[in-house]
Chain A
């Protein structure tokens, strides 16, 4: 422990990056210009993503929880990430595992899978929030004050899985600045020291998810060309391959305890096979020998599945494997020698691995958090929608609204008409996925709009707009124009939590009382007020020439009122009102600034500036060089 960290109540809040992994979770922050992993409650950088629920409301996270896995498997939740955003009937719940699932009591209940602990149930969101809370506590201990957080998700996560991750962050009391795709985060960590342009592939095989991303780096902009993967494929599946054979060979009774032990032993065997040609594990007094070449054979189908996803991603990006300048390995499972050999053969070149594959994603998240907090304009990440969005058609087919690999933020509009005479309502079902039938895709939202006046078929019109934000989260609004009256509704996905629900859950979690929550809201609003005031002042300095007469005075008055409100208010709402007033006062100015920025961007002036910025060497090219030297 460093003793020099003297407590400073005025310490500026620091943004953090969190890799919320299937197997391990990591929190990192940028210190002195470099990302570093912070020490978790286990005293290490890697916190096992395991939560133990004791009887009297006590919980344990990390190794302390892991220690209970064999004795109390049903109360010890591992790999909760695999269940994020999943319903109670999801096939994932039927795989080899140690816990029980609660039978849903209602239809809305069935939307989220629940772990049955005996006396209570927990959702994967609850479990993830517990892990995030622990990481946040560690970060606060080391950074003194924590600002917003960037949380990573597999690129292939659908809307439900992303929503669940964000909800877990909010439940843990974090301000979620951004959900960042794991491969993009890894690329950011590698391209850190200022860039050489090129085309890269990120092969990310984690504990439970597989992602492949093809992206280009040009003048500080990382542009994802395509992404693909499998959100239920990872190192855990390799463990299962071993465990299944171990259980058969030792012929033990498959109690939850035995299954859990077998999985633990299998993982150990997998790790040992990274360096040793063979290893022996013992279950119920029966020894079981595994040789590496056997293990390689068992996992071949799993690797083939990753290969298929890679080839499709290349095809979607319209490039061939030989055009890729570098391949980045991410995720603990890429330590398996057979995985490396497979990747090198697939892309025809050695892969980059000089940043620890377990930490690289958290590093990238920390860098992005830092860039966002400082509103730096050096680097920009342009990501894509991983899975197509569509609407169910009459026959149960899918009408694609936004295809996969569309750059986000993205939006599309669609018009629906009535198909029967005197039809008085619309029924719209939004789905995500590549399959031809809507029932095979992920159901995101189902909504109906009633009260359409009776008229002949095809006369009534419903405009629906689909917007996907920078986090890959979908927002749907529908407006009906039939009678000239526009009726707009915001559609929430069925599995997401509303702000009110999150607040209620925070109160219920005993972490916050009602008054604490009000205090937190006040503190959050103050921080926001400060941020907006700062941004406004910066804009006034930078774009003074764009102000019209009298505008400066109006804005400064609004700024003064805001700072007074922030100083004097004892609740959040007066500050919020002052924030809104400032936004009104600056609206026209903001519009002018944006137009001006667009003009400048299009005039090409910035092109030469960025070209100069990129002069400073290194980046991925340097890593490639190092790799060549070592080889």
Chain B
């Protein structure tokens, strides 16, 4: 895939203005969406379609802090291997595992309020992780230490999100 920052014409950094990003995506969609090329020859329609797909995918990547961070790291030549989606810090991992346990317990007990509480707790951890990720990426400009820290933070975020998904699923069930 082409570089998502380039596709949307924004500076490659973590702290993006999301409203501006949304505007750019909208303006590009105005030009590239297949509905704008209904009367055109088939080859032109295909071209517009594939570009619209690329732009949508880039937007999806940049909107999401985790994938945005990955895209930034990819620009620096850092790839994140699969399976590295656990927090490296054993203490934090332990805390998160415990949180996961308590969600499972609350799910079995059909305790809606407890799940909602865990959900908010995870949300708070998620946004703290996003800030930490941003700090690591901006500070680590050019250096490997920042990148290393960012990779760890991504693992943490991924794990937190898995738990959030589980909590959301549990809430769905209880509805």
| A interacts with B | yes
| B106, CB-defined interface residue at 8 Å | no
Chain A interface residues toward B at CB < 8 A: 177-178, 218-219, 221, 223, 307-308, 311-312, 315, 371-373, 375, 377, 380-382, 406-412, 467, 469-470, 531-532, 534-536, 579, 582-584, 586-587, 590-591, 594, 597-598, 600-602, 604, 606-607
Give the chain A neighbours of B94 by CB distance below 8 A: none
> Does B27 sit at the interface, judged by CB under 8 A?
yes
Look across to chain A and name the residue whose beta carbon is closest to the beta carbon of B36: A377
Residue of A nearest to B30 (CB): A380
A409 touches B34 (CB 8 A): yes
Q: Which residues of A contact B168 (CB under 8 A)?
A: 315
Residue interface bits B29-43, CB-to-A below 8 A is 1, else 0: 111111110111111
B42 touches A602 (CB 8 A): no
Contact A411–B53 (Cβ < 8 Å): yes
B47: interface (CB < 8 Å): yes
A589 nearest in chain B by CB position? B44
Measured between beta carbons, the chain B residues less than 8 angstroms from A597 are 31-32
Q: Are A607 and B23 in contact (CB under 8 A)?
A: yes
The reply to whether A223 and B35 contact each other, CB–CB distance below 8 Å, is no
A408 touching B56 in the complex, CB below 8 Å, given contacts A380-B35, A594-B32: yes
The reply to whether B31 and A598 form a contact with Cβ atoms under 8 Å apart is yes
B36 in contact with A375 (CB, 8 Å): yes
Interface residue from B30, B49, B60 paired with A601 (Cβ < 8 Å): B30
Tell me the B residues contacting A by CB distance below 8 Å.
8-9, 23-24, 26-36, 38-44, 47-54, 56-57, 59-60, 168, 172, 175
Bound: A470/B48 CA distance, A? 12
Q: Give the docked Cα–Cα distance between A407 and B57 (Å).
A: 9
Contacting residue for B9 out of A584, A586, A602, CB 8 A: A602
Asked whether, in the complex, the Cβ of B26 is within 8 Å of the Cβ of A586, the reply is: no
Cα of A406 to Cα of B31 in the assembled complex, Å: 19
Contacts of A531 in B (CB 8 A): 39
Which of B39, B43, B47, B52 is the most central at the interface, judged by chain A CB atoms within 10 Å of its CB? Answer: B39
Question: CB within 8 A of A586: which of B32, B44, B50, B60?
Answer: B44
A582: which B residues are within 8 A, CB to CB?
A: 41
Say what secondary structure dominates the interface of chain A: helix
Is B33 in contact with A380, judged by CB distance below 8 angstroms?
A: yes
Please tell me if the beta carbons of B29 and A382 are within 8 angstroms of each other in the complex.
yes
Is B26 a contact of A223 with CB atoms below 8 Å?
A: yes
Cross-chain contact of B40 among A219, A467, A469, A532 (Cβ < 8 A): A532
Chain A residues whose CB sits within 8 angstroms of the CB of B36 once the complex forms: 375, 377, 380
Q: List 10 A-B contacts (CB under 8 A).
A: A373-B38, A380-B36, A410-B53, A410-B57, A410-B60, A411-B54, A590-B41, A597-B32, A598-B31, A601-B30
Q: Give the CA-CA distance A531 to B42 in the complex, in Å.
A: 12
Instruction: Please tell me if the beta carbons of A377 and B53 are within 8 angstroms of each other in the complex.
Output: no
Write out the residue numbers on chain B whose beta carbons fall within 8 Å of the beta carbon of A411: 50, 53-54, 56-57
> Using Cβ atoms and an 8 Å threshold, which residues of chain B touch A412?
57
Q: 4 closest Cβ contacts across the A-B interface?
A: A583-B41, A602-B9, A411-B53, A601-B27
Determine if B31 and A375 form an interchain contact, defined as CB atoms under 8 angstroms apart: no
Q: Once the chains are docked, how many angstroms separate the CA of A196 from the CA of B2?
A: 35
Assuming the A-B contacts A311-B175, A381-B35, A410-B53, are A219 and B26 also in contact, with contact meaning beta carbons closer than 8 angstroms in the complex? yes
CB distance from A185 to the nearest CB of B (A): 13
Complex: chain B residue closest to A220, CB-CB: B30
A148 to B172, CA, bound (A): 41
Question: Which of A373, A590, A602 sits near B24, CB closer than 8 Å?
Answer: A602
Residues of A within 8 A of B27 (CB): 601-602, 604, 606-607
Out of A311, A409, A590, name the residue touching B47 (CB < 8 Å). A590
- B30 close to A606 (CB less than 8 A): yes
Inside 8 A of A579's CB, which chain B residues have their CB?
Answer: 41
**Which residues of A lie under 8 Å from residue B24 when comparing CB positions?**
601-602
The answer to whether A590 and B60 touch across the interface, beta carbons within 8 angstroms, is no
Contact A380 B41 (CB under 8 A): no
**B18 CB, nearest partner CB in chain A, Å:** 12
A594 and B51 in contact (CB under 8 A), knowing A377-B30, A380-B30, A469-B34?
A: yes
Residues B41 and A586 in contact, CB atoms below 8 Å apart:
yes
Which residue in chain A gives the minimum CB-CB distance to B171?
A315
- Measured between beta carbons, the chain B residues less than 8 angstroms from A602 are 8-9, 24, 27-28
Q: B82 → chain A, closest Cβ, in Å?
A: 12
Residues of B within 8 A of A470 (CB): 33-35, 49
B26 shortest CB reach to chain A, Å: 5
